[in-house]
Structure 1
Amino acid sequence: MTTASATARKLARRVDRRPRYNYTVSRAHGFVYYRVAKVATRSISAWLRELDPEPVYLTGRPAPFDPLHRLFRFGFVRNPWDRLVSCWLDKVIGPTDYWRDTPLKGLPFDAFVHQIATWDLDTCDRHVRRQAALLPPKGLDFVGRFEHLDADVARVADRLGLPASGLPRRNTSSDRQSYHAYYTPELADLVGRLYAVDASRFGYTFGGIATEGSETDSTRGA
Protein backbone atom coordinates (compact mmCIF):
# COMPACT_ATOMS: atom_id res chain seq x y z
CA MET A 1 0.00 0.00 0.00
CA THR A 2 1.38 3.43 -0.93
CA THR A 3 1.87 6.17 1.66
CA ALA A 4 -0.90 8.23 0.06
CA SER A 5 -3.34 5.32 0.17
CA ALA A 6 -2.48 4.57 3.79
CA THR A 7 -3.07 8.21 4.73
CA ALA A 8 -6.40 8.21 2.92
CA ARG A 9 -7.48 5.10 4.82
CA LYS A 10 -6.79 6.87 8.12
CA LEU A 11 -8.90 9.83 6.99
CA ALA A 12 -11.77 7.59 5.94
CA ARG A 13 -12.56 6.08 9.34
CA ARG A 14 -11.52 5.84 12.96
CA VAL A 15 -11.18 2.50 14.71
CA ASP A 16 -12.65 3.86 17.93
CA ARG A 17 -16.26 4.62 17.04
CA ARG A 18 -17.23 6.21 20.35
CA PRO A 19 -18.42 9.83 19.95
CA ARG A 20 -15.57 12.34 20.06
CA TYR A 21 -16.15 16.08 19.94
CA ASN A 22 -13.86 19.06 19.43
CA TYR A 23 -14.80 21.75 21.91
CA THR A 24 -13.55 24.98 23.42
CA VAL A 25 -14.14 25.73 27.09
CA SER A 26 -14.05 29.09 28.83
CA ARG A 27 -14.69 28.80 32.54
CA ALA A 28 -14.17 32.57 32.85
CA HIS A 29 -17.24 33.21 30.68
CA GLY A 30 -19.10 29.98 31.35
CA PHE A 31 -19.40 28.39 27.92
CA VAL A 32 -18.57 25.28 25.91
CA TYR A 33 -18.34 25.83 22.15
CA TYR A 34 -18.55 22.63 20.08
CA ARG A 35 -16.53 23.22 16.93
CA VAL A 36 -17.90 21.91 13.61
CA ALA A 37 -15.28 22.13 10.87
CA LYS A 38 -16.19 24.31 7.86
CA VAL A 39 -18.82 26.21 9.85
CA ALA A 40 -16.98 29.50 10.51
CA THR A 41 -14.91 27.84 13.24
CA ARG A 42 -11.93 30.13 12.66
CA SER A 43 -14.05 33.27 12.83
CA ILE A 44 -15.97 32.18 15.92
CA SER A 45 -12.79 30.95 17.62
CA ALA A 46 -11.06 34.27 16.90
CA TRP A 47 -13.99 36.13 18.47
CA LEU A 48 -13.92 33.91 21.54
CA ARG A 49 -10.16 34.33 21.93
CA GLU A 50 -10.67 38.09 22.03
CA LEU A 51 -13.00 37.51 24.98
CA ASP A 52 -10.85 34.91 26.69
CA PRO A 53 -7.18 34.77 25.61
CA GLU A 54 -6.69 31.44 27.36
CA PRO A 55 -9.59 29.12 26.48
CA VAL A 56 -9.11 25.38 26.82
CA TYR A 57 -9.25 23.28 23.63
CA LEU A 58 -10.32 19.70 24.16
CA THR A 59 -11.14 16.62 22.12
CA GLY A 60 -13.19 13.77 23.49
CA ARG A 61 -16.50 13.29 25.20
CA PRO A 62 -17.37 14.91 28.54
CA ALA A 63 -18.57 12.42 31.13
CA PRO A 64 -22.28 12.63 32.10
CA PHE A 65 -21.48 14.36 35.39
CA ASP A 66 -18.66 16.54 34.11
CA PRO A 67 -18.97 20.15 35.40
CA LEU A 68 -18.98 21.26 31.73
CA HIS A 69 -22.63 20.25 31.58
CA ARG A 70 -23.46 23.19 33.83
CA LEU A 71 -21.99 25.69 31.36
CA PHE A 72 -23.76 27.26 28.37
CA ARG A 73 -23.17 24.81 25.53
CA PHE A 74 -23.57 25.80 21.90
CA GLY A 75 -22.51 25.01 18.33
CA PHE A 76 -23.15 26.10 14.75
CA VAL A 77 -24.26 24.12 11.68
CA ARG A 78 -24.37 24.67 7.92
CA ASN A 79 -26.28 23.37 4.96
CA PRO A 80 -24.48 20.05 4.26
CA TRP A 81 -24.45 20.57 0.48
CA ASP A 82 -22.85 23.99 0.94
CA ARG A 83 -20.42 22.74 3.61
CA LEU A 84 -19.12 20.01 1.29
CA VAL A 85 -18.45 22.50 -1.52
CA SER A 86 -16.61 24.74 0.95
CA CYS A 87 -14.47 21.81 2.07
CA TRP A 88 -13.60 20.86 -1.52
CA LEU A 89 -12.69 24.43 -2.50
CA ASP A 90 -10.50 24.89 0.56
CA LYS A 91 -8.91 21.50 1.20
CA VAL A 92 -8.96 19.71 -2.16
CA ILE A 93 -8.27 22.32 -4.84
CA GLY A 94 -7.17 25.22 -2.64
CA PRO A 95 -3.56 26.19 -1.89
CA THR A 96 -3.57 24.60 1.56
CA ASP A 97 -1.34 21.58 2.14
CA TYR A 98 -4.20 19.77 3.83
CA TRP A 99 -4.68 16.32 2.25
CA ARG A 100 -1.58 17.03 0.15
CA ASP A 101 -0.28 13.46 0.39
CA THR A 102 -3.59 11.75 -0.34
CA PRO A 103 -5.43 10.76 -3.53
CA LEU A 104 -8.01 13.46 -2.69
CA LYS A 105 -5.82 16.43 -3.57
CA GLY A 106 -6.86 17.99 -6.87
CA LEU A 107 -9.89 15.78 -7.51
CA PRO A 108 -12.85 17.25 -9.42
CA PHE A 109 -15.83 17.86 -7.17
CA ASP A 110 -17.88 14.90 -8.39
CA ALA A 111 -14.93 12.52 -7.95
CA PHE A 112 -14.33 13.93 -4.46
CA VAL A 113 -17.95 13.29 -3.46
CA HIS A 114 -17.84 9.73 -4.77
CA GLN A 115 -14.61 9.14 -2.88
CA ILE A 116 -15.96 10.25 0.50
CA ALA A 117 -19.13 8.26 -0.21
CA THR A 118 -16.98 5.20 0.59
CA TRP A 119 -15.95 6.65 3.98
CA ASP A 120 -17.43 6.21 7.43
CA LEU A 121 -18.90 9.70 7.69
CA ASP A 122 -19.52 9.38 11.43
CA THR A 123 -15.85 8.90 12.30
CA CYS A 124 -13.81 10.16 9.33
CA ASP A 125 -11.85 13.39 8.96
CA ARG A 126 -13.74 16.17 10.72
CA HIS A 127 -14.01 18.38 7.63
CA VAL A 128 -16.44 15.96 5.97
CA ARG A 129 -17.73 14.17 9.05
CA ARG A 130 -21.47 14.45 9.57
CA GLN A 131 -22.35 17.45 11.72
CA ALA A 132 -24.64 15.25 13.78
CA ALA A 133 -21.51 13.30 14.78
CA LEU A 134 -19.66 16.50 15.75
CA LEU A 135 -22.39 17.81 18.06
CA PRO A 136 -23.81 15.98 21.09
CA PRO A 137 -27.21 14.42 20.38
CA LYS A 138 -28.78 16.30 23.30
CA GLY A 139 -27.96 18.85 25.96
CA LEU A 140 -26.99 21.79 23.76
CA ASP A 141 -28.44 25.13 24.84
CA PHE A 142 -28.22 26.70 21.40
CA VAL A 143 -27.51 25.63 17.82
CA GLY A 144 -26.91 28.51 15.43
CA ARG A 145 -26.75 28.58 11.67
CA PHE A 146 -23.91 29.62 9.37
CA GLU A 147 -26.54 31.12 7.07
CA HIS A 148 -27.24 33.94 9.55
CA LEU A 149 -24.00 33.85 11.45
CA ASP A 150 -23.89 37.39 12.80
CA ALA A 151 -27.42 37.26 14.19
CA ASP A 152 -26.86 33.91 15.88
CA VAL A 153 -23.47 34.91 17.31
CA ALA A 154 -25.28 37.92 18.75
CA ARG A 155 -27.74 35.53 20.42
CA VAL A 156 -24.88 33.59 21.97
CA ALA A 157 -23.27 36.83 23.16
CA ASP A 158 -26.55 38.00 24.64
CA ARG A 159 -26.93 34.77 26.62
CA LEU A 160 -23.38 35.14 27.95
CA GLY A 161 -23.58 38.88 28.55
CA LEU A 162 -20.71 39.50 26.13
CA PRO A 163 -20.14 41.93 23.24
CA ALA A 164 -20.71 40.50 19.74
CA SER A 165 -19.72 43.40 17.52
CA GLY A 166 -17.08 42.93 14.85
CA LEU A 167 -17.02 39.16 14.39
CA PRO A 168 -13.63 38.50 12.74
CA ARG A 169 -13.72 36.90 9.30
CA ARG A 170 -11.27 34.06 8.79
CA ASN A 171 -10.78 31.72 5.81
CA THR A 172 -13.75 33.07 3.85
CA SER A 173 -14.45 32.76 0.11
CA SER A 174 -16.41 35.78 -1.04
CA ASP A 175 -16.05 35.20 -4.80
CA ARG A 176 -17.31 31.61 -5.06
CA GLN A 177 -20.50 30.63 -6.84
CA SER A 178 -23.59 29.47 -5.01
CA TYR A 179 -23.12 25.87 -3.92
CA HIS A 180 -26.02 24.83 -6.19
CA ALA A 181 -23.83 25.46 -9.24
CA TYR A 182 -21.47 22.62 -8.32
CA TYR A 183 -24.11 19.91 -8.35
CA THR A 184 -25.86 17.80 -10.92
CA PRO A 185 -29.23 16.43 -9.80
CA GLU A 186 -27.64 13.02 -9.31
CA LEU A 187 -24.79 14.39 -7.21
CA ALA A 188 -27.16 16.45 -5.07
CA ASP A 189 -29.24 13.33 -4.46
CA LEU A 190 -26.15 11.36 -3.43
CA VAL A 191 -25.06 14.02 -0.92
CA GLY A 192 -28.62 14.14 0.38
CA ARG A 193 -28.43 10.43 1.14
CA LEU A 194 -24.95 10.65 2.66
CA TYR A 195 -25.90 13.51 4.97
CA ALA A 196 -29.57 12.70 5.50
CA VAL A 197 -29.18 12.78 9.28
CA ASP A 198 -27.77 16.33 9.12
CA ALA A 199 -30.53 17.51 6.80
CA SER A 200 -33.19 16.02 9.05
CA ARG A 201 -31.79 17.03 12.44
CA PHE A 202 -30.88 20.59 11.48
CA GLY A 203 -33.62 21.32 8.98
CA TYR A 204 -31.84 21.63 5.63
CA THR A 205 -32.74 20.80 2.05
CA PHE A 206 -30.70 21.15 -1.12
CA GLY A 207 -32.61 24.36 -1.74
CA GLY A 208 -31.67 25.90 1.59
CA ILE A 209 -33.22 25.92 5.07
CA ALA A 210 -36.39 24.02 5.88
CA THR A 211 -39.09 26.18 7.37
CA GLU A 212 -39.67 24.34 10.63
CA GLY A 213 -39.09 21.26 12.71
CA SER A 214 -35.32 21.43 13.10
CA GLU A 215 -33.16 21.45 16.19
CA THR A 216 -31.94 24.93 15.38
CA ASP A 217 -35.49 26.25 15.25
CA SER A 218 -36.27 24.77 18.67
CA THR A 219 -33.22 26.37 20.30
CA ARG A 220 -33.25 29.77 18.65
CA GLY A 221 -35.31 31.40 21.34
CA ALA A 222 -33.23 29.92 24.14
Structure 2
Amino acid sequence: MSVGSEDTKDRAGYAATSDERHRERMQRKKELIDRKIARATIERGVLVVNTGNGKGKSSSGFGMLARSLGHGFQCGVVQFIKGSFSTGEEAFFRRFEELDYHVMGEGFTWETQDKERDIRAAQAAWAIAARMLADPGYDFVLLDELNIALAHRYIALDDVLAAVAARPPQQHVVITGRGAPDALIEAADTVTDMRVVKHAFKAGIKAQKGIEL
Protein backbone atom coordinates (compact mmCIF):
# COMPACT_ATOMS: atom_id res chain seq x y z
CA MET A 1 0.00 0.00 0.00
CA SER A 2 1.37 3.43 -0.87
CA VAL A 3 2.06 6.14 1.69
CA GLY A 4 -0.73 8.25 0.20
CA SER A 5 -3.22 5.42 0.64
CA GLU A 6 -2.20 5.00 4.28
CA ASP A 7 -2.67 8.73 4.93
CA THR A 8 -6.11 8.63 3.34
CA LYS A 9 -7.06 5.63 5.45
CA ASP A 10 -5.79 7.31 8.63
CA ARG A 11 -7.76 10.46 7.91
CA ALA A 12 -10.90 8.44 7.21
CA GLY A 13 -10.44 6.53 10.46
CA TYR A 14 -9.90 9.74 12.42
CA ALA A 15 -13.01 11.31 10.85
CA ALA A 16 -15.10 8.26 11.71
CA THR A 17 -13.86 8.31 15.32
CA SER A 18 -14.48 12.05 15.58
CA ASP A 19 -18.01 11.65 14.23
CA GLU A 20 -18.74 8.88 16.71
CA ARG A 21 -17.47 10.98 19.62
CA HIS A 22 -19.63 13.85 18.45
CA ARG A 23 -22.70 11.61 18.29
CA GLU A 24 -22.00 10.31 21.78
CA ARG A 25 -21.64 13.86 23.18
CA MET A 26 -24.82 15.01 21.49
CA GLN A 27 -26.68 11.93 22.73
CA ARG A 28 -25.62 12.66 26.31
CA LYS A 29 -26.62 16.29 25.89
CA LYS A 30 -30.01 15.30 24.45
CA GLU A 31 -30.66 12.96 27.36
CA LEU A 32 -29.81 15.75 29.83
CA ILE A 33 -32.06 18.28 28.09
CA ASP A 34 -34.90 15.73 27.76
CA ARG A 35 -34.74 15.12 31.52
CA LYS A 36 -34.94 18.86 32.22
CA ILE A 37 -37.90 19.23 29.85
CA ALA A 38 -39.67 16.31 31.52
CA ARG A 39 -39.26 17.97 34.92
CA ALA A 40 -40.72 21.30 33.71
CA THR A 41 -44.40 20.50 34.25
CA ILE A 42 -45.71 23.82 35.62
CA GLU A 43 -47.83 25.79 33.16
CA ARG A 44 -48.59 29.39 34.15
CA GLY A 45 -47.89 32.96 33.15
CA VAL A 46 -44.35 34.19 33.67
CA LEU A 47 -42.92 37.55 34.70
CA VAL A 48 -39.93 38.55 32.57
CA VAL A 49 -37.64 41.48 33.42
CA ASN A 50 -35.18 42.88 30.87
CA THR A 51 -32.73 45.30 32.46
CA GLY A 52 -29.12 46.49 32.26
CA ASN A 53 -27.33 49.24 30.36
CA GLY A 54 -27.02 47.34 27.09
CA LYS A 55 -29.18 47.71 24.01
CA GLY A 56 -32.03 45.29 23.33
CA LYS A 57 -34.30 45.38 26.37
CA SER A 58 -37.34 46.79 24.58
CA SER A 59 -36.43 44.98 21.36
CA SER A 60 -36.60 41.66 23.21
CA GLY A 61 -39.95 42.62 24.73
CA PHE A 62 -41.39 43.49 21.35
CA GLY A 63 -40.03 40.24 19.96
CA MET A 64 -42.04 38.37 22.57
CA LEU A 65 -45.03 40.53 21.70
CA ALA A 66 -44.72 39.45 18.06
CA ARG A 67 -44.50 35.83 19.14
CA SER A 68 -47.59 36.19 21.33
CA LEU A 69 -49.59 37.82 18.55
CA GLY A 70 -48.53 34.96 16.30
CA HIS A 71 -50.22 32.59 18.75
CA GLY A 72 -53.41 34.64 18.66
CA PHE A 73 -52.99 36.10 22.15
CA GLN A 74 -54.78 39.23 23.30
CA CYS A 75 -51.97 41.64 24.14
CA GLY A 76 -51.43 44.99 25.79
CA VAL A 77 -48.53 47.46 25.61
CA VAL A 78 -47.88 50.48 27.79
CA GLN A 79 -44.80 52.59 27.00
CA PHE A 80 -43.84 54.65 30.04
CA ILE A 81 -41.09 56.89 28.67
CA LYS A 82 -41.11 56.95 24.89
CA GLY A 83 -43.77 59.17 23.44
CA SER A 84 -42.39 62.37 21.98
CA PHE A 85 -41.16 60.66 18.81
CA SER A 86 -42.53 57.93 16.57
CA THR A 87 -40.96 54.48 16.56
CA GLY A 88 -40.98 51.61 14.12
CA GLU A 89 -42.50 49.23 16.65
CA GLU A 90 -45.48 51.52 17.22
CA ALA A 91 -46.03 51.97 13.48
CA PHE A 92 -45.89 48.21 12.96
CA PHE A 93 -47.81 46.83 15.92
CA ARG A 94 -50.76 49.23 15.88
CA ARG A 95 -52.16 47.36 12.88
CA PHE A 96 -53.09 44.35 15.05
CA GLU A 97 -56.65 44.28 16.35
CA GLU A 98 -55.61 41.90 19.13
CA LEU A 99 -53.31 44.57 20.58
CA ASP A 100 -54.20 47.39 22.98
CA TYR A 101 -51.30 49.86 22.53
CA HIS A 102 -50.68 52.94 24.69
CA VAL A 103 -47.78 55.40 24.37
CA MET A 104 -48.03 57.29 27.64
CA GLY A 105 -44.65 58.92 28.19
CA GLU A 106 -43.68 62.39 27.10
CA GLY A 107 -40.10 61.61 26.23
CA PHE A 108 -36.96 61.05 28.26
CA THR A 109 -36.71 62.88 31.58
CA TRP A 110 -33.85 65.07 30.41
CA GLU A 111 -36.06 66.27 27.54
CA THR A 112 -39.12 67.24 29.59
CA GLN A 113 -37.12 68.74 32.49
CA ASP A 114 -40.35 68.83 34.46
CA LYS A 115 -40.52 66.32 37.30
CA GLU A 116 -44.17 66.87 38.19
CA ARG A 117 -45.18 66.48 34.55
CA ASP A 118 -43.18 63.25 34.33
CA ILE A 119 -44.82 61.93 37.49
CA ARG A 120 -48.30 62.67 36.16
CA ALA A 121 -47.51 60.92 32.86
CA ALA A 122 -46.03 57.88 34.63
CA GLN A 123 -48.98 57.53 36.98
CA ALA A 124 -51.46 57.85 34.11
CA ALA A 125 -49.54 55.09 32.33
CA TRP A 126 -49.56 52.94 35.47
CA ALA A 127 -53.34 53.31 35.79
CA ILE A 128 -53.74 51.71 32.35
CA ALA A 129 -51.10 49.06 33.09
CA ALA A 130 -52.76 48.13 36.40
CA ARG A 131 -56.08 47.70 34.59
CA MET A 132 -54.46 45.33 32.10
CA LEU A 133 -52.75 43.34 34.85
CA ALA A 134 -56.10 42.82 36.58
CA ASP A 135 -57.90 41.73 33.41
CA PRO A 136 -57.86 38.01 32.48
CA GLY A 137 -58.69 39.04 28.92
CA TYR A 138 -55.03 40.01 28.41
CA ASP A 139 -52.74 37.05 27.73
CA PHE A 140 -49.56 39.11 27.36
CA VAL A 141 -48.68 42.57 28.73
CA LEU A 142 -45.54 44.53 27.86
CA LEU A 143 -44.66 47.40 30.22
CA ASP A 144 -41.91 49.13 28.31
CA GLU A 145 -39.44 51.26 30.33
CA LEU A 146 -41.42 50.79 33.54
CA ASN A 147 -38.12 50.22 35.36
CA ILE A 148 -37.09 53.81 34.65
CA ALA A 149 -40.28 55.15 36.18
CA LEU A 150 -39.64 52.93 39.20
CA ALA A 151 -36.01 54.06 39.48
CA HIS A 152 -37.18 57.70 39.57
CA ARG A 153 -39.87 56.75 42.10
CA TYR A 154 -42.62 58.10 39.87
CA ILE A 155 -44.58 54.92 40.62
CA ALA A 156 -44.67 53.03 43.92
CA LEU A 157 -42.75 49.76 43.68
CA ASP A 158 -45.10 48.09 46.16
CA ASP A 159 -48.04 48.83 43.86
CA VAL A 160 -46.27 47.18 40.93
CA LEU A 161 -45.24 44.13 42.97
CA ALA A 162 -48.78 43.69 44.28
CA ALA A 163 -50.30 44.00 40.81
CA VAL A 164 -48.00 41.47 39.14
CA ALA A 165 -48.46 39.06 42.05
CA ALA A 166 -52.27 39.28 41.83
CA ARG A 167 -52.52 39.11 38.03
CA PRO A 168 -54.47 36.28 36.30
CA PRO A 169 -52.55 32.97 36.57
CA GLN A 170 -51.97 32.51 32.83
CA GLN A 171 -51.01 36.09 32.02
CA HIS A 172 -47.44 36.76 30.83
CA VAL A 173 -45.83 40.10 31.72
CA VAL A 174 -42.62 41.63 30.37
CA ILE A 175 -41.09 44.67 32.08
CA THR A 176 -38.17 46.52 30.50
CA GLY A 177 -35.79 49.32 31.37
CA ARG A 178 -32.44 49.77 33.03
CA GLY A 179 -32.14 49.87 36.80
CA ALA A 180 -34.71 47.22 37.70
CA PRO A 181 -35.18 47.27 41.50
CA ASP A 182 -33.96 44.25 43.43
CA ALA A 183 -37.44 43.38 44.68
CA LEU A 184 -38.77 43.19 41.11
CA ILE A 185 -35.84 41.02 40.06
CA GLU A 186 -36.59 38.72 42.98
CA ALA A 187 -40.26 38.49 41.99
CA ALA A 188 -39.51 37.74 38.32
CA ASP A 189 -39.34 34.28 36.79
CA THR A 190 -36.84 35.26 34.09
CA VAL A 191 -34.35 38.13 34.28
CA THR A 192 -31.90 39.25 31.61
CA ASP A 193 -29.24 41.87 32.41
CA MET A 194 -28.05 43.33 29.11
CA ARG A 195 -24.41 44.46 29.11
CA VAL A 196 -22.84 47.07 26.85
CA VAL A 197 -19.88 45.83 24.83
CA LYS A 198 -19.97 48.45 22.05
CA HIS A 199 -22.57 50.96 20.92
CA ALA A 200 -22.60 52.94 17.68
CA PHE A 201 -23.74 56.11 19.48
CA LYS A 202 -20.42 56.31 21.33
CA ALA A 203 -18.70 56.49 17.94
CA GLY A 204 -20.87 59.44 16.94
CA ILE A 205 -23.42 57.48 14.89
CA LYS A 206 -26.92 58.84 15.38
CA ALA A 207 -29.96 56.67 16.15
CA GLN A 208 -31.05 54.77 13.05
CA LYS A 209 -34.52 53.76 11.86
CA GLY A 210 -34.97 50.03 12.29
CA ILE A 211 -32.20 49.85 14.90
CA GLU A 212 -33.06 52.38 17.61
CA LEU A 213 -36.19 54.00 16.15
Name the TM-score, length of structure 2 as normaliser. 0.29
- Higher-RCO chain (CA-CA 8 Å, sequence separation at least 6): 2
In proportion to residue count, which structure has more helix?
Answer: 2
Name the TM-score, length of structure 1 as normaliser. 0.28
